[in-house]
Structure 1
Amino acid sequence: MLTLVLAVLSVSAAASMRLALPLLILGLFYSQELLTEIALFNRLDPRVVLAVGISWSLFELFGSKKLLGQRVLQIIQLLFSPFVGALAAITITHIFEINFQPMWLIGLIGGIFALVLTLVQVGWFFRLRGIPIWLVCIEDILCISLVFLAFTAPKEGGLIALLLFWLAIRSSNAWRQWYSSKPSTTP
């Protein structure tokens, strides 16, 4: 059970960094039936879903290297990361063939975890006025690694996700201190 939670945290952390890439990896490498099992995708042609997933993944990988692409991705990730985190978390339970009830709880954990990490990324984006390219490249590598770690080493992947969560909490405390130390601009 703990392994499942750590795998869910790992894949949800990946979903907070990129939206389509974790789902594409899950669909291509681990669950060939992913495109037909999920209620959102089963009404569409699998080739269309695959083409959109590949296109969006390429945009995430290459568009995130420019400031305008980062802005567009931040807005879209902020809107959709809870849904993708929940979807990836529920997909993990299907792939591991674990019957956990209530399933919505796993989705809720994955969605909230992805949303919190995305909010921290958006905060850093606006505070730094753009994410440096070296950090974006590390984020891409970490996203792919977290998805693969969710299956090969869920304990390590979950611990990395928890470390990211700890860093998110620490940075939010630093923002609060930074904001409270700024002089007031109101007359």
Structure 2
Amino acid sequence: MIDILAALSASAAAGIRIGLPLLIMGLLHGVQLWSKVPILSYISPPLLIGLFSIWSLVELVASKRRLGQRVIQIFELLFSPIVGAILGLAAASTAILPHWLIAVICGLLALVFQLVQVGWFYRLRGLPLWATFLQDFLCVVLIIFAFHAPWPGGLITFILLWFAIHSAKQWYDWYWQYRRQHSKS
């Protein structure tokens, strides 16, 4: 159970940012962890550190402006399921569930969180600055909790999942309210 919570926490971090959780995972556990992770094991560790450092810096800086958020969201939307699956497998290395099932669940969870971010971006016409700092903070906390305190990380992940479901319900209500208003015209 703890491995599943760790995997969910790690994949939630990937649903918020991509490069930052990969970089923190590698720095906290050493590059030997990357040698046990699918896809990353085929790439040189110094190259991974450089790539993840640059992408983390781009994420942290560009996410503070609306145009940067829009550009980053395209990449994060495409790669969050892959990174979520990778991080989930790395966090749940001793789980009794089949690895393919962990990868699918974690990849889908990361995609859901990324879709919620995109939805709020378009609903609010850009995320406020405080929200981007909260995303950065949550990403760091979730990836640290995934490897050191899976229970709180899993709890935060379930709260975020509840928020995602609640957001979808709000968008659904807004959509039908908009349709009713425009169908009367």
- Normalised by the length of structure 1, the TM-score is 0.92
Instruction: Find the partner of 2:160 among 161, 164, 167.
Output: 164
Residue of structure 1 equivalent to 2:85: 86
Task: Report the alpha carbon displacement of residue 83 of structure 1 after superposing the two structures with TM.
Answer: 0.5
Q: What is the percentage of aligned positions where both structures have the same residue?
A: 45
Q: Distance in 2 between matches of 1:5 and 1:99?
A: 7
Residue of structure 1 equivalent to 2:177: 181
CA gap of 1:172–1:34, structure 2 versus 1, over 3 A, is same
Residue of structure 1 equivalent to 2:24: 25
Structure 2: tracts of 5 or more residues without a match = none
Q: Does the alignment pair 1:146 with 2:145?
A: no
CA gap of 1:3–1:37, structure 2 versus 1, over 3 A, is closer
Aligned residues: 183
Residue of structure 2 equivalent to 1:42: 41
Amino acid at match of 1:184: H
Q: Distance in 2 between matches of 1:109 and 1:70?
A: 26
Q: Distance in 1 between matches of 2:77 and 2:42?
A: 25
Task: Report the alpha carbon displacement of residue 6 of structure 1 after superposing the two structures with TM.
Answer: 1.1
CA gap of 1:186–1:86, structure 2 versus 1, over 3 A, is farther
Instruction: Find the partner of 1:118 among 96, 114, 117.
Output: 114
Query: 1:77-99: CA deviations, max 9, x gaps?
Result: 111110000000001123xxx15
Residue of structure 2 equivalent to 1:76: 75
Q: Distance in 1 between matches of 2:41 and 2:10?
A: 22
Amino acid at match of 1:30: H
Q: Distance in 2 between matches of 1:186 and 1:120?
A: 30
CA gap of 1:134–1:37, structure 2 versus 1, over 3 A, is same
Instruction: Confirm or deny: 8 A CA contact 2:6 2:92 kept in the other structure.
Output: no
Q: Distance in 2 between matches of 1:156 and 1:38?
A: 24
Q: Distance in 1 between matches of 2:33 and 2:170?
A: 40
Structure 1: tracts of 5 or more residues without a match = none
Q: Distance in 2 between matches of 1:24 and 1:124?
A: 26
What do you get for the CA RMSD once the two structures are aligned? 1.7
Instruction: Confirm or deny: 8 A CA contact 2:37 2:89 kept in the other structure.
Output: no
SS in 2 for 1:184: helix
Query: 1:37-71: CA deviations, max 9, x gaps?
Result: 33423333221121111000011111100111100
